[in-house]
């Protein structure tokens, strides 16, 4: 199924903001697999942006565009200031987290607990929109705890629209703020895709992206029959190779898919440059562990990167060794397949 796009729409396919995962190295890996997918940073709190090490938190390789910065906070003035800093760093979008259910986030009065305070969210978005020229967007749940999802979601969206927001990424689950861990909140509350589809039908002028439980590109294409965009999280991280088909299948580009082998070669200059800057190999390659998921040699790939990549001074030769192990395994499989074909024909 090939969809030809009349105009490039970054939100058509995006990779979710994921704490401890979607860092600068991860995003650069994902970019070599897809030239079009919109990439999101990890959530960064306003306090960290305003008072922390900005270069460590916000810097990224220029090749990552389009890339969005996700902020966590609930103080309009602080969010406006942090959004300006993000814009100065060149981010193409500033996103507010209204979906994370962790205790730490709740204690800071941001994330999913803000679903209960739509007026405050609207004030935050109005302040951010007034502070920057790039788009400001919201990533939210459909509700929390005992909220009625229909009422909670539509109220939040409508108040944010009045504040100048037109793009929403909706994780199609409630968040339970008590009794479920953040991990359980990604799986246990039931998905309600039809509610998000209805939001798009009844608010057709908005850009609505859907998130939550999307396993791959086939499912993304199904969702795109109903909404403007799809955001993948864990699937894109643990099986990054699936991103190699996104440009062709989702954005309609007349281009061959990027294979995992090609992705490694494209990523290699970034690895070498990052090592030269003082980054440790393991911190870069940990995002590559699932790249060869489902292929012969995938286990050897993971083992070599994990065991040998953590050593002091580990360099690009570790990646080369792991890649060669996969190549050998694939060649052995192909050789066995060819032999079986010959034997079958001879029989």
Nearest Cα neighbor of 109 from 138, 76, 150 is: 76
Q: Give the 3-state secondary structure of residue 305.
A: helix
Rounded to whole angstroms, what are the CA distances from 247 to 9, 30, 34, 159, 251? 12, 12, 6, 34, 5
Query: Active-site residue numbers?
Result: 100
Rounded CA separation 239/241 (Å): 5
Would you say 42 and 60 are in contact if contact means Cβ atoms under 8 Å apart? no
For residue 71, list its beta bridge partners.
44, 96
Identify whether 253 is preceded by a cis peptide bond (ω within 30 of 0).
no
φ, ψ of residue 43 to 5 degrees: the values are: -65, 135
Q: What is the Rg, in whole angstroms, of the alpha carbon atoms belonging to the chain?
A: 21
Q: What are the structure tokens assigned to 125, written together?
A: 């978005």
What domains, with CATH codes, occur in the chain?
Answer: 13-251 (3.20.20.70), 260-345 (1.20.120.1460)
pLDDT digit string (tens) for the chain, length 347 residues: 344 444 568 899 999 999 999 999 999 999 999 999 999 999 999 999 999 999 999 999 999 999 999 999 999 999 999 999 999 999 999 999 999 887 666 556 788 999 999 999 999 999 999 999 999 999 999 999 999 999 999 999 999 999 999 999 999 999 888 777 777 877 778 999 999 999 999 999 999 999 999 999 999 999 999 999 999 999 999 999 999 999 999 999 999 999 999 999 999 999 999 999 999 999 999 999 999 999 999 999 999 999 999 988 999 999 999 999 999 999 998 887 766 665 565 55
Binding site listing for FMN: 17-19, 70, 139, 171, 211-213, 233-234
HEC string for 172-211: CCEECCCCCCHHHHCCCCCCCHHHHHHHHHHCCCCEEEEE
């Amino acid at each position: 199924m090939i969809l030809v796009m009349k105009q490039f729409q970054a939100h058509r396919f995006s990779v979710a903001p994921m704490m401890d995962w979607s860092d600068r190295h991860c995003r650069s890996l994902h970019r070599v697999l897809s030239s079009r997918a919109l990439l999101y940073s990890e959530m960064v709190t306003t306090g960290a942006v305003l008072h922390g090490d900005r270069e460590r938190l916000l810097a990224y390789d220029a090749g990552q565009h389009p890339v969005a910065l996700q902020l966590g906070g609930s103080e309009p003035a602080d969010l406006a200031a942090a959004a300006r800093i993000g814009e100065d760093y060149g981010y193409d979008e500033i996103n507010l987290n209204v979906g994370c259910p962790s205790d730490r986030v709740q204690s800071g009065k941001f994330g999913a607990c803000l679903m209960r305070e739509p007026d405050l969210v609207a004030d935050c978005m109005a302040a951010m929109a007034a502070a920057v020229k790039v788009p400001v967007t919201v990533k939210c749940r459909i509700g929390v705890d005992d909220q009625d999802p229909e009422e909670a979601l539509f109220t939040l969206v409508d108040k944010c629209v009045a504040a100048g927001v037109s793009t929403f990424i909706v994780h199609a689950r409630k968040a339970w703020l008590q009794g479920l861990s953040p991990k359980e909140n990604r799986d246990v509350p039931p998905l309600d895709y039809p509610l998000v589809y209805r939001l798009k039908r009844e608010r057709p002028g908005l850009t609505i992206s859907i998130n939550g439980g999307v396993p791959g590109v086939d499912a993304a294409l199904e969702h795109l029959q109903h909404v403007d965009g799809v955001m993948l999280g864990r699937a894109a991280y643990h099986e990054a190779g699936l991103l190699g088909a996104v440009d062709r299948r989702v954005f309609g580009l007349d281009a061959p898919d990027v294979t995992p082998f090609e992705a490694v070669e494209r990523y290699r200059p970034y690895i070498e440059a990052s090592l030269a800057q003082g980054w440790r190999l393991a911190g870069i390659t940990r995002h590559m562990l699932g790249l060869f998921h489902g292929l012969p040699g995938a286990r050897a790939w993971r083992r070599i990167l994990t065991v040998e990549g953590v050593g002091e001074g580990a360099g690009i030769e570790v990646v080369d060794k792991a890649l060669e192990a996969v190549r050998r395994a694939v060649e052995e499989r192909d050789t066995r397949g060819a032999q079986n074909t010959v034997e079958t024909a001879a029989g």
